[in-house]
Structure formats: C-alpha cells, structure tokens
Structure 1
Amino acid sequence: MRAPALPAWPAALCPGLVAAAGVAVLDVVLGAEVGLLPLFAVGPALTACCAAARKVVTCGLVSLVLCAAVAVYDDLLFTRRGVVALVSVAAVTVASAFAAHARVQHERRAARQRRISEFVQGVILAPVPQDTEPARIAASYVSATEDARIGGDFYEAVPARDGGVRVVIGDVQGKGLGAVRTATIMLSAFRMSAHDAVDLDEVAAKMSGALGRRGVDEQFVTAVLGELAPSGRLTLLSFGHPPPLVVRADGSHELAHPPSPALPFGLDWLEQDPPRPSHVELADGDRVLLYTDGLAEARDAEDAFYPLVQRVSLLRGESLDDCLVRLRGDVQAHTDSGVDDDSALLLMEYRTPV
C-alpha cells in the first residue's frame, strides 16, 4: 500500500521547524555561553523558500516561542542577549513573510504566462497531421526563452489538393514577441495557400507577399518549403535555411543541399533570382528531417557544433515521436547547458500509397 502523502502545511513547515528544534537541542547541549539564540531566525527564513507567507508566520511564531523557552532555560530572557535574539527572530519572520509573498506572486505570474504561452502555441503551432497520405509526420518545438513555449521558429504540414502533403519549416531572425508575430504571418500565409496552390513557387510568393504587406521591419525569415508527392518525389525550395537530412531505409543518408538557394524572405529588395527547386526521390520507409539552426548550431563547451549527420541513427526506429525525443536528449547532452536558441524539428516518413 502506498504511504499517504504529507499534508501541505506540515510538509512545507518541516525544514523550518526541524531547524528551530535543532537549534534548541544544540543550545541545551552546548550551554548558554555559546550564544545560539539568534539562530532561531533560521526557521522562518528556510520556510520562506518553499511556503506561503502565512506558513512562514506560523513557523516564526513557533521559533519565537522556542527561543523564549530556551532563553528562560538559559536565564537570559530579560537580558540584552535574550531581547536581541527575540527581536531578531521577529524581524526575520516579518521579512521572510514578505519575501515568501513576493515569491508566490512571481510563481503565480510565471504559471499564468506558461498557460498563456501553451495556449498561444496551440493556436500558432497547431499539431501537425501525424498520419496523412503519403507520409507519417512528427514535430517538436523548444523555445530558448525562459518560461516560454513559443518563439520565432515555426513548422506546418498541409495536405495538398492533388494528393501528397506540403510542409514548411522556418526561422525568424530575432526573438521575442516581434519574432512570434512574424512567424504567425508566415504560417497564416502558408496555411491559406498550401492546399490549393499550383506549386511551391506560388506558396512562396504568397508568404513573401504577406510578409511585405505587414511591414515587418528589419526582420528576415529563413525557410524550407517541401512537397511530398504520392509517387515519393520530394520537391524542396530553400530560402537560406539549413538543408534537410534524408535518412534512407537502406541505412544511407544525405543532406539535401539545394542547387540554387534563395535569400531569406524579407530580403526581396536585394533582387536575387528566385530559388530553383530540388528533387529527392524517396522509397518506402525513407525519412526526412527538417530543422532550424537551433539544432544545427547547438554548441558544446568547446564551441563545437552538434554533429547531426553523425547522430543519424537516432532517427531510426518505429516511432517518429520517440526519434525526436532521443534527438532532443542527445542535443541536451551535447550542449550540457540547455538550448540558447529556439529549435523546431519536423520528421517525415514516406509510405508508398496502398
């Protein structure tokens, strides 16, 4: 039978009460000459680290009573030492109660922000269709912003009107709400055009136009657009983005470098030629990983980039979601200090239509 959980009050008060009881025992054992009475202030100070203000006050009152009792035992209650000790415990209790109140308010605000972030992420980065002809798809997102779930990276997958599926992954320059706003613009344009557009060039034009109409200043967006046809042909358009990693079912792998990448979205004023599409022929079971530079540029303590190609075995396995979890864990182990940039992953497996 599982042991019953401790009630919230005693569990929160335990560290402070144990500290106060320990000081009392030490004072009795060592004698009045040692001068441990002010250490009764440790009790409410410890409680402030893990409990609300009212619990700090309760622990402070208990510590104050113990301090007075020990002072009586040491015959110091009405001496300067005794009075200073009691005043110290009372003052630390008041200060700790205010500190605990501020900490609890901060934790509540942070929890609200996390809930809002999770809601916004659900709107901006809606779950991708995991099983759509002719592909299985899994996605993962990690924000580098503390207490946040969203950032400037984005991904999406949309079934195409004539069969197949169209995907995008992108990275907005910069961080913060401005990057989130730009990512929302790009995702909205992709979702509205990907299903009915004639080809990826049309989808890219819609996304570029949407970004220009919204007047996003000094921000550009790298991206890869992909279209997987029922035949297994994967068409890619690259806009200054890291190349997708193709993981073959036969054990081989390759980076799908574009023959003619374009500049990122938002730099159209430089008047570079548009990208030429590249094509990759996929067989049944082949997988393609699209990712942002939060993965490609993750560095270890010696400033070495994450060796994605050498970790290709992590992307083999029955479950696409499990593959992404393993990859995330390996990146965490490589950096040792967590991500310092947003990171989006989209893993797609081609399946021959029945």
Structure 2
Amino acid sequence: MRTHLASGTQAARVVVRRVAWRSPWLDMSTLALITIVLVKCLDRRWDEPPMLAPLLAVPPALAGIGAASVRRPLAYGGVSMLAALFVWLKPTEFAGSLPGATMFTIVVITAVATLGTAVNVRQERRIATVRSVAEAAQHALLRPPPQRLGGLGFDVVYVAAAAEAMVGGDLYEVTRTAEHGIRVIMGDVRGKGLDAVELAADILGMFRELAHDAHTLGELAIRLDTGLGRSLGRYEEFVTALLVEIDQESGRASIFNCGHPPPVLISAAAGDAEPGDPGNRSVALMEVPAPAPPLGLLALGDCSGGQLSLHLQPNDQLLLYTDGVTEARDARRRFYPLPERITALARAAVRTPASNGSARHGLLDLLRADLLKHVGAPLEDDAALLLIQAPATWSPSLATVTSHAEPIVS
C-alpha cells in the first residue's frame, strides 16, 4: 500500500515551511515597529507624553501566537524591553511615568505569552502522541491487498489528513471466497480518533469472517449491521460502507451501497475504438437505485434498492473511495470534482503509465497529486482510494489462479 502521510513527517515539513515563511514577516514588522517608536520618542521635542511607547508591548504578544517554543516570546519581550529602556533613559519630565508603565506592561505581556506558549506546546505534543498511536493502529489493521488476486488487479492509496486533524476511520479489505468470488469492502466510520479506529477494526474483523459465509451482499450487510448492534452502547457512531462482489470467471459484479459515495466505473473500451486507446475512456458513477442506511442504522430504513449489478468488461477499472476525496475543498471552498477529473486523469494514465508499466498505478498517482493540488494544503479528512482492474480477458482458469504478489509499497 502506498500512502501519502500529510500528517506525519511531510506534514511537519509543511508546518515548518509555513512557520519559516511567517517568521521573516514577524521579524521585519517588529523591527519596523520598534524603529518607529524609538524615532518618534527620541528624535523629537517632548511637549507631551510619548504615546507610541506602549506599542512596544505588541511584539511579545504577536510572537506568542503559534510559537513552537517559549524562547520566541521571551526573545521578543527582551528586545522590546531594551527599546523601552532607551526611551526611559531620555532626559524628560515624563521619563519616569509612561515609559515605566510600558516596561511593566511588556513584562506582563511577555509572561502571559510565554505561559500560553508553554501550555499550547504541551497540548500539541499530547495530541501528536495520541495521533501517532491511532495512526499506528490504523496502519496495522489496513492490510494492503495483493497486486493480483483471481486475475483482478488491486491498488490502494491512503492520503492522510493534516497533522492537526484527528485520524479518521477509513477502512478497506479484499477477500477471496470459495463460493462467492472476490468480495471487497470500502467503508468510513463516522467519527475520529482512537474510537473510530477501534470500530473500523471490528468491522474489518467481522467482514473477513462473514464474507465467506453470507450468500448475498445484502445478507452480508445485515450480518455486519447485527454485529454492530451487539455492541450497542459501546459505539455511538455508524459506518458508511460499499460492498462489492466480483465473479472471477465472467466479470459479473454486484454492488451493495450502505450510504457510501458511489464507485466510479472507468470503461476501457467504447464504440469502435481500439481498447487501450487514450481517447477511448468513459467514466460513470455506479449509483444504486436507493442506497441502504449505513451499517449500524440498517434496520431503520429500506434496503431493497441498495444493490446494483453490472458486468465488468476486460480492462475496465472500478474506483472505490471515501468521502475525504469528494469533500475535499479548495481555497474557494469548492468540492473536488471527482467524476470530471477522473475522465481526464484516466486518459492521461494510459498515455503516461507508471514506471512498472501499469496504467492503474499511474491513475492513482495522478489522482492523488491532482487532489492535493486542488486543495493546495493537507486534507482536512483522511481519504482512501481502492482501484480494481479487470483482466485483459475473462477466463474460467482465472478462478483457479492463486497469485500472491508482494504488497504494494511506496
């Protein structure tokens, strides 16, 4: 599995770059403010108290905003205090009143900014510790699928959210069964943090067991929902889920949607053009007539319209994803237009395949890069993408092939 961990080392680098970008502006602004105060207070005839002197308390207050160390507000407070001393030493009848009050204000503001920074740094470290534990648990339970299974190709990309965001409960799994072909789940727990990761682990554990026994996807959804019901009172969240079943011999597929974003079918051939032609790609949302309620709430609604059947043609691709993709917003708060973008990206992936020659890898690479470009910053919510690639030809012999390639790594 290849991941783009915006919440880990890369996120830390992003934050460092932003702080580095802001620091020169703060330094220059502070220097300009102190220079103006000193010029106005020292290079003029004082006929009235120097009203600009209290502005020297501003730099330590600004330095405490978002500071990563207490040394920053202390340093700015020291520079402001030196400037106030220069004003205090100017021989004037006001030297002992207003400058003295300014120095006292600088001391108080510096102390408050330092204390606030210390508390904030401690809180951020605590949050980072909790997040690292949740990420470790999440990565442990999200096992990468094999590159090929029963003739189908699989690829996964997980794009983590910003460092400040809590870990989400995105989940996925691919299981090969003896009687029901290949079954796949893509889900998203409503909620964040360790509780969401724990619930995702329970769902995946139940799916890995029930996928072999349930006769239909509808039955599988009901049994997953029942399993959550046994934990009533333990969980207060629900899980949107997409269940997919694919026959390895014929390419017949079924989709059961429990309140999850619909998958995207990328058709490899249309019309009379040759398959594999970059210009020969069509994209369609596989929307069921009426999605069933999410897992955990399944008994509260009608599930009769939650299923859809389709036939995967050779080289077709089926993209499953979580709402962290479609709900990603740019600077103007516009959602990421996945159906429109995937059309162009699928064609570009054929023109420029990945280094290993696999166009499906190139598609997720392009999609991840395009998503991050659209947002322009780390995502506010985790996003998972699972791409299923149909073989070049459907053959009954594929059902007997057991290919366990090495997991996809970044």
CA distance in 1, matches of 2:133, 2:305: 38
Alignment of 1:109-128 (within 5 A): 109-124=126-141, 126-128=142-144
What CA deviation, in whole Å up to 9, does each residue of 1:240-276 have, x standing for no partner?
A: 3343221111222333344786554345546967779
Alpha-carbon offset, residue 40 of structure 1:
2.1
- Find 2:319's aligned residue among 284, 289, 292: 289
CA distance in 2, matches of 1:145, 1:275: 39
Alpha-carbon offset, residue 18 of structure 1:
2.9
1:269–1:229 distance in 2 versus 1, CA, 3 Å: closer
SS in 2 for 1:283: coil
Please state if 1:135 is matched with 2:153. Answer: yes
Please state if 1:52 is matched with 2:69. Answer: yes
Letter paired with 1:347: L
The question of whether the paired residues in 2 share the 8 Å contact of 1:138 and 1:320 is answered with no
Aligned-pair identity in percent equals 32
1:145–1:104 distance in 2 versus 1, CA, 3 Å: closer
Please state if 1:96 is matched with 2:126. Answer: no
- Find 1:348's aligned residue among 384, 388, 396: 388
Q: Where in structure 1 are there 5+ consecutive unaligned residues?
A: 1-7
Alignment of 1:15-54 (within 5 A): 18=31, 21-22=34-35, 23-30=37-44, 32=46, 34-49=50-65, 50-54=67-71
Q: Identify the residue that residue 230 of structure 1 maps to in structure 2.
A: 248
1:261–1:42 distance in 2 versus 1, CA, 3 Å: closer
Q: Identify the residue that residue 102 of structure 2 maps to in structure 1.
A: 85
Alignment of 1:249-328 (within 5 A): 249-250=268-269, 251-258=281-288, 262-267=292-297, 269=299, 278-293=308-323, 308-316=338-346, 317=349, 318=359, 319-326=362-369, 328=371
- Find 1:248's aligned residue among 267, 278, 292: 267
Q: Identify the residue that residue 278 of structure 2 maps to in structure 1.
A: none
Q: Where in structure 2 are there 5+ consecutive unaligned residues?
A: 1-19, 270-280, 350-358, 393-397, 402-410
- Find 1:107's aligned residue among 111, 121, 124: 124
1:298–1:82 distance in 2 versus 1, CA, 3 Å: closer
CA distance in 1, matches of 2:206, 2:250: 26
The question of whether the paired residues in 1 share the 8 Å contact of 2:162 and 2:378 is answered with no
CA distance in 1, matches of 2:291, 2:86: 79
CA distance in 2, matches of 1:224, 1:289: 11
SS in 1 for 2:155: strand
- Please, which moves more after superposition, 21-30 or 83-92? 21-30
1:131–1:315 distance in 2 versus 1, CA, 3 Å: farther
The question of whether the paired residues in 1 share the 8 Å contact of 2:156 and 2:384 is answered with no
SS in 1 for 2:165: coil
CA distance in 1, matches of 2:27, 2:56: 14
Please state if 1:189 is matched with 2:191. Answer: no
The question of whether the paired residues in 1 share the 8 Å contact of 2:372 and 2:379 is answered with no
CA distance in 2, matches of 1:263, 1:146: 30
What CA deviation, in whole Å up to 9, does each residue of 1:192-226 have, x standing for no partner?
A: 344x4475546445423422322357755442211
1:121–1:331 distance in 2 versus 1, CA, 3 Å: farther
Tell me how large the CA RMSD over aligned residues is: 4.3
SS in 2 for 1:128: coil
Letter paired with 1:44: P
The question of whether the paired residues in 1 share the 8 Å contact of 2:88 and 2:96 is answered with no
1:112–1:75 distance in 2 versus 1, CA, 3 Å: farther
1:230–1:109 distance in 2 versus 1, CA, 3 Å: same
Alignment of 1:153-232 (within 5 A): 153-160=170-177, 165-172=182-189, 180-194=197-211, 196-197=212-213, 199-201=215-217, 203-204=220-221, 206-215=223-232, 220-231=238-249
Letter paired with 1:240: C
What CA deviation, in whole Å up to 9, does each residue of 1:113-142 have, x standing for no partner?
A: 332332232134x14326122212224356
SS in 1 for 2:89: helix
1:306–1:276 distance in 2 versus 1, CA, 3 Å: closer
The question of whether the paired residues in 2 share the 8 Å contact of 1:132 and 1:165 is answered with no
What CA deviation, in whole Å up to 9, does each residue of 1:157-193 have, x standing for no partner?
A: 2344579642111244566766554433222111234
SS in 1 for 2:99: helix
- Find 2:166's aligned residue among 148, 163, 169: 148
Letter paired with 1:324: L
Equivalenced residue count is 339
CA distance in 2, matches of 1:304, 1:89: 44
Structure with larger RCO (C-alpha < 8 A, sep 6+) = 2
SS in 1 for 2:262: coil
CA distance in 1, matches of 2:384, 2:247: 23
Q: Identify the residue that residue 72 of structure 1 maps to in structure 2.
A: 89
CA distance in 2, matches of 1:210, 1:170: 15
SS in 1 for 2:156: strand
SS in 1 for 2:60: helix
